[in-house]
Amino acid sequence: MTIKDVMEQYFDGEIDQDVCDTEIDVGVAFCYSLGDENDSYDKLLKIFAENVVVSSYEPGMSFMPCDFSGYFRIYKEKLIPWANKYLNRDYDDDEVEYDMAEAIEGLIAGFYSETAYAELVKILTT
């Protein structure tokens, strides 16, 4: 079940739910309405909603566990240049997915520039 599936089943297509990663101790409020694609930030949230797997969800849960680390692992090689540029570190291929998962707080909260979001959307859609 993806975040989008949960949105459709429990939230009528509009979510305002705290999410956390299943591997890294990180959490953030995920606020998104299906169909929003006004800018690269919204497109990134759509990508997450459609592709990130929810481990389990029951109405009333304070945090919805999601596999962001696993999702980023798929794109590990492609993410290294983005992470080096925007997370200001030199990465090897064994750690970038975990640092990207830690970065979801800022990514989902909207802390990055439009350019950073646009570059990340391009990576995750090609």
Report pTM: 0.91
State CA 45 to chain mean position distance: 7
Instruction: Work out the angle between the directed axes of helices 114-125 and 40-51 (0-180°, nearest 10).
Output: 40
Question: What is the number of alpha carbons within 13 Å of residue 51 lying toward its C-beta?
Answer: 17
Give the model's pLDDT for residue 44: 96
pLDDT on residue 102: 87
Sorted by where each begins, the domain ranges of the chain are: 3-125
Q: What is the pLDDT of residue 76?
A: 86
- Interatomic CA distance for residues 95 and 123, integer angstroms: 18
**Beta-carbon-side half-sphere exposure of residue 47 (alpha carbons within 13 Å):** 22
Q: Is the pLDDT of residue 93 over 70?
A: no
Calculate mean pLDDT across residues 78-85: 90
The pLDDT of residue 9: 94
pLDDT band at 94 (very low <50, low <70, confident <90, very high): low
